[in-house]
Each structure stands twice: as C-alpha cells, then as structure tokens.
Amino acid sequence: MANAVPKHIGIIMDGNGRWAKKKHLPRVLGHQQGAKTLDKLLNDARGMGVEHITVYAFSTENWKRTEDEISGIMGILREYINKYFRDYANSDFRVDSVGDLTALTEDLQRDIARLKEVSKDRTGIHLTIAMNYGSRDEIKRAVQKIAQEVKDGKLEVSDITEELISDHLDSAGTPDPELIIRTSGELRTSNFLLWQSAYSEYYITDKLWPDFTIDDLKDAIKAYQNRDRRFGGRNEVSK
Ligand code: IPE
Ligand code: IPE
Ligand code: MG
C-alpha cells in the first residue's frame, strides 16, 4: 500500500550558485531567485496535506563563504522575514527556526522573534527555517542543556532517553521528517537534521533549487509514497 503524503518534509535548497553561474549572473542573484522559488512553492503546497516544511537556508559551515555572499544571503533572509511579517494578516503560515540565532545580527534576531510570535497560533503550513544550522551544533547544544539539568539536580542520568534528547533539540515538538529532498544532485546530508532523519526517505534531484517547482515536489512525494519503509522490520507476509 502506498505511503500517505508526508506530514513533514525537509528540503536542502542547494544549487543557487550553479544556477547563477549558468546564467552568468552574480551568486547573490541565485540566492534571490532561490528565495522566490521557496515563496512560490509554499503557496503552491497549500492544501496538499503537508503540515511541516523545514528548509535549510544557511548552515554553520556557510560562514566559510565570502563576506559579500554571506551579507547577500542575510539581506535576503531579512527581506523575506519582514515580508512575511508585513503579510501576516493575509497569511496562514506558522514560522519557526532551528539553528543558533545568536550568531545573527541583533535586528535579524529581533525580526525572527517577532515573526515567530505573531504567527505562533496560525494553522497553515508550519515553516521552519534552518539558519546558522548544523546538526552537530544542535546536538552539542542539546547535550549542554541536558548536562546542566543533571548538574542542577533536575534530571537523573537514567532519565536521558531518545525522546528526552529529541525534546532538547531546536526542533522539539515537530515530528521527524518522513521525506528529505535535496536539489542539485549532491549525495550528502551536509549536516542537516542528522538525528531527526534516522528513518527519513531521501529524494535527490539534479534540478537546481531556483528551478524547483510544485511539480517537482509532487514527483518527490510520489517517489516517497512508493518506497517500502521497513524501519528495520519486514513488510512482506511471513512464510
Ligand atoms: C544553496 O546554494 C544555498 C546556500 C548554501 C546558502 P549554493 O550557494 O550552495 O549553490 P551551489 O551549491 O554553489 O550551486
Ligand atoms: C547545504 O548546501 C546548505 C544549504 C543548502 C543551506 P551547501 O552547498 O552548503 O553544502 P555542501 O558544501 O555542498 O556540502
Ligand atoms: Mg551548495
């Protein structure tokens, strides 16, 4: 039997640079087009039954890029966060983030906090933006929080379960993604949702992120629906 539509999809939005290069444009225009693609996709995905979407916008490793490119990406993040804030009366998205926001500028941190606050009771798609996000960093911070709680006598070592660890990650409260999509063909996770994707299905497409459309999303969901998810068990009728 086909799997249901995934409730949570993670997207590694890769290929903005290659898209720009192909068109002889500066990389930042690739990021600009990538943001437009996401904006359109979120609107087109309404009503499909997908409840949570987590998008990888900026990784803990992306600070290795040039100052120009980083400030271009941060400017686009600010622009879209403010756009969603301005449009909030007409929008039903709930916006969240994962990642260590303390490394972002104070005004960006404030804008994100403000958008999270105004959108927290909305019932449309729950959009989580991964900003200055790295799974290893997220797990490290979770371990630090847990260790502090043990030190303070609020937890026993034996209270540390898989569920407790999940609850200390930035993604606490959001179910694990059933499907992770990566555009632009790279066969790696690049530090995205390592803990949460233990049993996610991966879908890799060669499409560059700025060219990704709702039909590509539907193809990814169809492929997911035909996967045999075994979770370490056996689905065939036992003989
Ligand atoms: C993804 O596109 C966006 C970010 C990493 C911020 P890239 O900028 O990585 O695009 P490519 O991989 O160079 O084509
Ligand atoms: C992953 O893409 C990060 C984002 C899409 C934000 P990268 O382009 O940074 O990943 P690598 O360098 O190819 O692994
Ligand atoms: Mg890339």
pLDDT of residue 138: 99
153: left (phi over 0), alpha (psi -120 to 50) or beta: left
pLDDT of residue 236: 76
Q: How far apart are CA 97 and CA 79, in angstroms?
A: 16
What number is the average pLDDT over the span 153-157? 98
Among residues of the chain, what percentage have pLDDT more than 70?
99
DSSP secondary structure string for all residues of 29-76: HHHHHHHHHHHHHHHHTTTSS--EEEEE--BTTGGGS-HHHHHHHHHH
Name the residue of 12, 21, 73, 184 whose CB sits within 8 Å of the most ligand 1 atoms, as the mutation to test its pocket.
Answer: 184
Residues annotated as catalytic (active site), given as ranges: 14, 62
SS3 category, 98: strand
Ligand 2 pocket, Cβ-based, cut-off 6 angstroms:
12-14, 56-59, 62, 186, 188, 190
Ligand 1 atom closest to Cα of residue 20: 14
What pTM was computed for the model?
A: 0.97
Ligand having the closest approach to the CA of 27: 1
Q: pLDDT for 168-216, tens place per residue?
A: 999 999 999 999 999 999 999 999 999 999 999 999 999 999 999 999 9
What number is the average pLDDT over the span 40-45? 96
Give the Å distance between the CA of 228 and the centre of ligand 3: 29
Q: Is 16 in the pocket of ligand 1 (CB under 6 A)?
A: yes
pLDDT of residue 235: 86
pLDDT of residue 91: 85
- Report the interhelical angle of 106-119 vs 67-86 (nearest 10°): 30
Q: Which CATH class is domain 8-133+176-225?
A: alpha beta
Give the residue whose CA is nearest to atom 12 of ligand 2.
190
